[in-house]
Structure 1
C-alpha cells in the first residue's frame, strides 16, 4: 500500500499532531518499562529535524470516556522527558483551552503532551466533532501507533480524514515489514502458527493458507489437527469439537497449494511442571495417561529444513509449552535456526504476538529477526487479512 512518510511532508514551522503508543506499565505512578516510549523517539526526532512542533496524542488504560486521575498521562511526562532528553510540556486537556494555550506557545522542536484521549467519549466513538477539535490544534497528522491501528478512533482514523497525514517511523517500519511478509513477499513463504486453540486463530489460518507456501502448526493447536486425523493424544490439550474445522483447513490447504506441517514426534509428560520427567515418542504414540507438551527433535529438524528452503518467515505462537523447561526446546531450537538464517541474509523473518515476543526473547534471538512487532491485536488482525482503520486512513485520507 502507498502512504506518506515524514520525509514526504513539509513540516517546517508546523504543528504536527502525532499519535503514539504510551500505554506503558506503571507502578505507583512511575513507569516501569520504557520500551514503548523509547520506540517513539525516532519519530519525534524526525519531525524536529524537519522543523516541526511535536504534539503527542495517546491513550492510557481504559477510562471509558471519563476522567480518571490514576490514568492521566501526566505520570508519563518524566519518563518521556528522560527518553527525549528535553522538556515536555503537559496539557491537562486534549482539547480546549489548556491544549490551545500549550500549542500556541510552541517553538520549532518543542514537544507538548496532550492528556489521555480516552478521557473523552468522542475518542472511541470516532466522533467527528471531537476529531475536528483535535485537528484544530495542528496542521499535519502523523500516526506512529500501529498497535492502535485496528481501532477506528478519532485520534487513529478520524484525524487522517481532516489533515495531511503520514506514517511515523515506527508505523513505517511495521508496514514495510508486514508488506515484505504478506503483501509482496519473496517466495517461498513459511508461516509458523502456534498456541493453545484452533478456535482463536481460525481467521488467521484461513487467510494464511491462501498466502503462504508452507504452514507449520505447533502447540496445543497441533494436537487438535492430530485428533482430526484420528490420532489419540492422551490427556493433551486439544479441541476435539474442532476436528471437523481442522479437516476443512487441511482440505482447503490442499486446494491452495499450501503444505501444512504437523509434528511427527512429540515430547510427552505425565506432569506439567518445571523439569518433569519426559520422553519423546512418535506423534501417533502418545500414552493414554500422558500429555503432549512440545514437538520432538525430528519435527524440529523438518521445520529447520523448511526454513532453509524458504525466503520469508512469518511467526506467531510457540511450538510447545515454552514457559517451562524442558518443553521450550522445540521453540528455542527452531527460533535459533530462523535467527541464524536471518543473520546470514538467507531469510526475511517477521514475528509478532505477545507469546511470540516472549518466546523469542527467552530463546535469545529477538534481536536477530528482521522485524518483531509488539503490536499484539493489530498484528494479528493484519495477519488475518483484515483492514486496519488506522492504516487504511493513511492511504485514503487527505494528502
Structure 2
C-alpha cells in the first residue's frame, strides 16, 4: 500500500501520537452497546502503545452542535475502550487547552488517553486553522484510523495531517487496501451489486461504476425504475418514474463502456409490505396493477449467482429486496451466502459496505466470511462514487 504513509514508516517511541479514531458508538444508560468500532481501532492503539508511543485518542460523538453537551461526552466511551484493550485509559475533560495539556504532560510512554469530544467546538467541523493549531500543540505525530470520517474535511480528520508527520492507522490501512482491491486495481471480471430503495440516492455511484465494472447487478427498489424505463409495468411498486430518462442514460452509458447490466427477470410480489404477507413469484412482465415488487425471484437469483461465479472481484452496496421483512429477505440472504461460499473457496474477492448491506450480511451470518466489510457508510459510498476523500488524500505518500 505504497500510495499511503502507514505506521510501518512511523517512529512513535517517546512521541505524543494524536490518534484520530471513530468512537461514534451507540450509548444507552451510560454504557456503550456496540463495541465494533472500538474493536476495529484496538490493534492500532495497542501497536502504538507497545512501541512506546503516548496514545492520545481524538474522536467525536453524535452532533452536539459545536458546544459542550454532557449527553455527548466521551467519558463512558473511554471506559469502554479500556475494556476492549484491557489497559487503563485516562480521560481529559477537554480536547484542547490546559485540561488536555496537563493530562498529556502526565503521560508515560505506552499510556493511553482519550480527549473529550472534538465536536464540542464549532471550529472542528469548520476546520479552522486556529483550532487545528491548538490540537497540533498536543502531539508530535498524527495517525488517522477513522476512515468512516475521512470524507469530512474537519480539523481532526484532515487539518492536522498538514501540520505534522501523518500516517494511516491499521484500520484505515485495511480499509484502503480493500477499497483499492475493489475498484482501483481489481482482479477482473469485476462485478458490483447495487441495491437499495432509490436510484436518486445512487446516481453518482451508478455513473461511476458503469465505467469501472464488467457486470453491474441492480437490485432493490431502484431496479423497478430501470424496469419501468424499459417499458415494464411495475404496478404499485416503489418507482421513481421521473428518473426513467436518467435510467435509460445509465443503460446507454453501460453499453458504451461494455459493462453488462443485470436486472431482475422475475420477482416476488405482494399487495402489502408486511411480514409473511401473501406473495407470489411472477415474471417482471406480469406484475399486477395492485402488486408491489418486494424481492427478486428464483430465476433472477440464479442469474446473479451465475454472474458471481464468473467474477473474480465483487463490490456490494445495498440489498435486493425489502430484506427486513420476511419472506422478502430470501434473495439477499441466498446471494450473500453464495458470495461468502465463493470467497471462502478463494474464487472471489468480496468487499461490501453501507449500513443496510452490513445488516443484511450479519442477518445472513456471513459478514465475517467476506474479504472485507466496511462499516463506513458515507465514506464508503463516496469512495465508490469516485470522489477524493479529504482525510485519505492528506495521507498520500508525497
TM-score, shorter chain, exceeding 0.5 = yes
User: Partners of 1:222 and 1:285 in 2: how far apart?
Assistant: 16
- Deviations 1:21-69 (CA, angstroms, capped at 9, x unpaired): 1111011222111111121110011112222110000001111211111
Conserved? CA contact 2:49–2:112, under 8 Å? no
* Paired position in structure 1 for 2:117: 116
* Paired position in structure 1 for 2:366: 365
- Deviations 1:277-325 (CA, angstroms, capped at 9, x unpaired): 1111111111112111100111011101110111000000000111111
- Deviations 1:316-374 (CA, angstroms, capped at 9, x unpaired): 00001111111111111111110000000000000000000011111111111000000
User: Partners of 1:72 and 1:86 in 2: how far apart?
Assistant: 20
* Paired position in structure 2 for 1:179: 180
- Deviations 1:245-294 (CA, angstroms, capped at 9, x unpaired): 00000000011111000001111111211111111111111111211110
User: Partners of 2:315 and 2:267 in 1: how far apart?
Assistant: 23
* Paired position in structure 2 for 1:218: 219
User: Partners of 1:21 and 1:235 in 2: how far apart?
Assistant: 41
User: Partners of 1:232 and 1:384 in 2: how far apart?
Assistant: 30
CA-CA distance at 1:85 after TM superposition: 1.1
CA-CA distance at 1:8 after TM superposition: 1.0
Conserved? CA contact 1:181–1:314, under 8 Å? yes
The runs of 5 or more residues in structure 2 that have no matched partner are none
* Paired position in structure 1 for 2:149: 148
User: Partners of 1:140 and 1:224 in 2: how far apart?
Assistant: 49
Moved over 6 A (4+): none
Structure 2 counterpart SS, 1:284: helix
User: Partners of 1:51 and 1:75 in 2: how far apart?
Assistant: 25
Between stretches 187-196 and 263-272, larger displacement belongs to: 263-272
Conserved? CA contact 1:360–1:366, under 8 Å? yes
Structure 2 counterpart SS, 1:377: helix
2:321 aligned with 1:320, yes or no? Answer: yes
Structure 2 counterpart SS, 1:292: strand
Structure 1 counterpart SS, 2:268: strand
1:1-399 map, 5 Å: 2-395=3-396
User: Partners of 1:109 and 1:37 in 2: how far apart?
Assistant: 18
CA-CA distance at 1:240 after TM superposition: 0.6
TM-score, normalised relative to structure 1: 0.98
CA-CA distance at 1:5 after TM superposition: 1.0
TM-score, normalised relative to structure 2: 0.98
Aligned residues: 397
User: Partners of 2:339 and 2:368 in 1: how far apart?
Assistant: 12
User: Partners of 1:80 and 1:353 in 2: how far apart?
Assistant: 24
Conserved? CA contact 1:4–1:167, under 8 Å? yes
Structure 1 counterpart SS, 2:217: strand
User: Partners of 1:169 and 1:42 in 2: how far apart?
Assistant: 7
User: Partners of 2:163 and 2:78 in 1: how far apart?
Assistant: 28
Structure 2 counterpart SS, 1:387: coil
Structure 1 counterpart SS, 2:396: helix
- Deviations 1:76-130 (CA, angstroms, capped at 9, x unpaired): 1221111121111111111111111111111111001101001112111101111
